[in-house]
A and B are shown apart, each in its own frame.
Chain A
Amino acid sequence: MSDTTQIEEPLVKIRGLTFRRGSRAIFDGIDIDIQRGKVTAIMGPSGTGKTTLLKLIGGQLRPDAGTIHVDGQDIHALNTRELYKLRMRMGMLFQSGALLTDISVFENVAYPIREHTDLPESMIRKLLLLKLEAVGLRGARDLMPSELSGGMARRVALARAMVLDPMMIMYDEPFTGQDPISMGVLVKLIRKLNDASRLSSIIVSHDVQETAQIADQIYVISNGRVIESGSPERIMNSELEWTDQFVHGHADGPVPFHYPAADLDEDLLSGSRMESSC
């Protein structure tokens, strides 16, 4: 009774989500809640469908079954106009940054503003300098995307994702391929932006340490199902064998190191038999 504010409707509510590629089920009936104002991490090994999940939330892919509600709206029941309107309030940071290669950093970040608002040029400039300052790249505004390092490109993409003041930002593998310094910068930046702008953040990642550092809530997915969810402490000290192996990177465990193959001895022998028969 007293804590009605606590049972606030989650920003993203995924129910019974099923998605197939060919005959393979990438997701097989998963339920996920993304709470408002929190950093939620979704973790799993490569190829489990983390990017696919973000594309489903963004309405770029359609599920085979189940629903995704974003801010109370069923995203796959919207028409194109409504979907685009909702997307203006969702920022997404792609793994590669996805900057437009033929325009400068400044124009890249300005792109959504020019596209969706009629702000005068002087306002755009001020707004942009503030956003670029927030990611520490005000001085790089005239560079072309090809002149940026990987970490810088990702920060530019972050500025662009934030420029329309969205309600949420989705990060696709933000830490992969970063040097330790950019990694540290990004980790702090994501947390800071989330808390300063009252955002909700979704991080999909397989970088366990960094993600656990900033997440409020973690979902671990594998083979199309949510294996475990909870606070970072709970996940890091998980009793589940699978989670334990994933989080601590053991070579042995429920996830085999070897790709399924015939017995080694047999393989070696059959090779020599083939040679001698030639």
Chain B
Amino acid sequence: MLEQLARLGRVGITFLKHLGRANLLLFNILSGVGEVLRRPRLLIAQIYSVGVLSVLIISVSGTFVGMVLGLQGYYILSQFGAEQTLGVMVSASLVRELGPVVAALLFAGRAGSALTAEIGLMKATEQLSGLEMMAVNPIRRVLTPRFFAGFISMPLLAALFGALGVLGGYFVGVGLLGVDDGAYWSQMQSKIDLNKDIYNGVIKSLVFGVVCSWIALFQGYDAVPTSEGVSRSTTRTVVHSSLAVLGLDFVLTALMFGE
């Protein structure tokens, strides 16, 4: 009994220590914002490797998710004779939920794991220590641009995901199943609200961008500097990011759409 209590306490303390280190790291990352502004090249290079290189997987997934939504939505809506509202259903699901959430999950798998592995390997091969000994702050130089690249890329990737999803739904609904072309777009236009739907979706993806980049960078920076440690950290990045995204999505949805 006492032993279990002690074990619980140990887990709690370890968790709090991690949280403390992660917060300290975030603070240090954010304090490098001036350096990023002074050297925009660093940021642009990272937006390329974090964002642009994720475009393919995001595009393909977005298109297919939209197509499936079109198909499933049509079968359900047509039972009630409401298939002309398919556009609303597809776009609302994408803009409110699937765009930000699925894009974030894919981002964690594609870009987050790569970030963790890169930082972890830089640590294991003493590149971070090497920078420090060259009087260069490795957090500001290496981590900060990657963090902001994730923060900037995430909403753009989610928007791309949503846009291609809407087109995929259009292709299936209008092109294959015979929903009226004009109805698909006009219903969407009249029912999707800028504040309620678009802004909230963007806020979600900004939050997810921060969380996914933060987790990925922390796991890399905190990795045990061996090949085994780096691979374990990479796995942790994907697991923690996915759980955080799903959990936060519920909280954010409740806050945004509650009442």
Within 8 Å of chain A (Cβ to Cβ): is B93?
Answer: no
Do B135 and A88 touch across chains, with their CB atoms under 8 A apart?
Answer: yes
Do A60 and B133 touch across chains, with their CB atoms under 8 A apart?
Answer: yes
Interface residues on A, range: 20 to 34
A 221-268 contacts with B by CB, 8 A: none
Do A115 and B125 touch across chains, with their CB atoms under 8 A apart?
Answer: no
Residue on A nearest B45 in the bound complex, by CB? A102
Within 8 Å of chain A (Cβ to Cβ): is B127?
Answer: yes
A 84-115 contacts with B by CB, 8 A: 84-85, 87-88, 90-92, 94-96, 98-101, 111-112, 115
C-alpha spacing A101/B133, complex, angstroms:
17
Interface residues on B, range: 10 to 19
> In the complex, how many residue pairs between chain A and chain B have their CB atoms under 8 Å apart?
48
C-alpha spacing A55/B132, complex, angstroms:
10
In-complex Cβ contact of A96 among B126, B132, B134 (8 A): B126
Residue on A nearest B136 in the bound complex, by CB? A115
Do A96 and B135 touch across chains, with their CB atoms under 8 A apart?
Answer: no
Within 8 Å of chain A (Cβ to Cβ): is B187?
Answer: no
Do B130 and A87 touch across chains, with their CB atoms under 8 A apart?
Answer: no
C-alpha spacing A59/B236, complex, angstroms:
31
A 103-150 contacts with B by CB, 8 A: 111-112, 115-116
Do B127 and A60 touch across chains, with their CB atoms under 8 A apart?
Answer: no
Do A98 and B135 touch across chains, with their CB atoms under 8 A apart?
Answer: no
- Residue numbers in A under 8 Å from B126 (CB-CB): 94-96, 98
Within 8 Å of chain A (Cβ to Cβ): is B129?
Answer: yes
* Nearest CB of A to B16, in Å: 19
* Nearest CB of B to A265, in Å: 36
In-complex Cβ contact of A112 among B122, B125, B132, B134 (8 A): B134
Do A87 and B127 touch across chains, with their CB atoms under 8 A apart?
Answer: no
- Residue numbers in B under 8 Å from A115 (CB-CB): 134-136
C-alpha spacing A227/B124, complex, angstroms:
31
* Nearest CB of A to B126, in Å: 4
C-alpha spacing A13/B136, complex, angstroms:
25
- Residue numbers in B under 8 Å from A49 (CB-CB): none
Within 8 Å of chain B (Cβ to Cβ): is A44?
Answer: no
In-complex Cβ contact of B129 among A88, A98, A101, A112 (8 A): A98
Do A90 and B127 touch across chains, with their CB atoms under 8 A apart?
Answer: no
Do B135 and A116 touch across chains, with their CB atoms under 8 A apart?
Answer: yes
Within 8 Å of chain B (Cβ to Cβ): is A151?
Answer: no
Within 8 Å of chain B (Cβ to Cβ): is A174?
Answer: no
C-alpha spacing A112/B136, complex, angstroms:
8
* Nearest CB of B to A184, in Å: 25
* Nearest CB of B to A19, in Å: 16
- Residue numbers in A under 8 Å from B134 (CB-CB): 87-88, 111-112, 115, 160
Contacts A94-B130, A98-B130 given; indicate if A87 touches B125 (C-beta within 8 A): no
C-alpha spacing A149/B126, complex, angstroms:
17
Residue on B nearest A58 in the bound complex, by CB? B133
Do A96 and B125 touch across chains, with their CB atoms under 8 A apart?
Answer: yes
C-alpha spacing A238/B125, complex, angstroms:
36
C-alpha spacing A29/B209, complex, angstroms:
48
- Residue numbers in A under 8 Å from B135 (CB-CB): 84-85, 87-88, 112, 115-116
- Residue numbers in B under 8 Å from A116 (CB-CB): 135
- Residue numbers in A under 8 Å from B127 (CB-CB): 98-101
- Residue numbers in B under 8 Å from A96 (CB-CB): 125-126
C-alpha spacing A99/B135, complex, angstroms:
15
C-alpha spacing A95/B137, complex, angstroms:
20
- Residue numbers in A under 8 Å from B136 (CB-CB): 111, 115
* Nearest CB of A to B223, in Å: 16
> Could you mark each residue 207-237 of chain B with 1 if its beta carbon is under 8 Å from any beta carbon of chain A, else 0?
0000000000000000000000000000000
Residue on B nearest A160 in the bound complex, by CB? B134
A-B contact pairs, 11 of them (CB 8 A): A55-B129, A84-B135, A87-B132, A92-B133, A94-B129, A95-B126, A98-B125, A98-B126, A100-B127, A100-B131, A111-B134
Measured CB to CB, the residues of B under 8 A from A are 122, 125-127, 129-137
| Besides the known contacts A91-B133, A94-B130, A100-B131, 6 further A-B residue pairs in the complex with CB atoms under 8 A apart | A58-B133, A60-B132, A60-B133, A98-B129, A101-B122, A112-B134
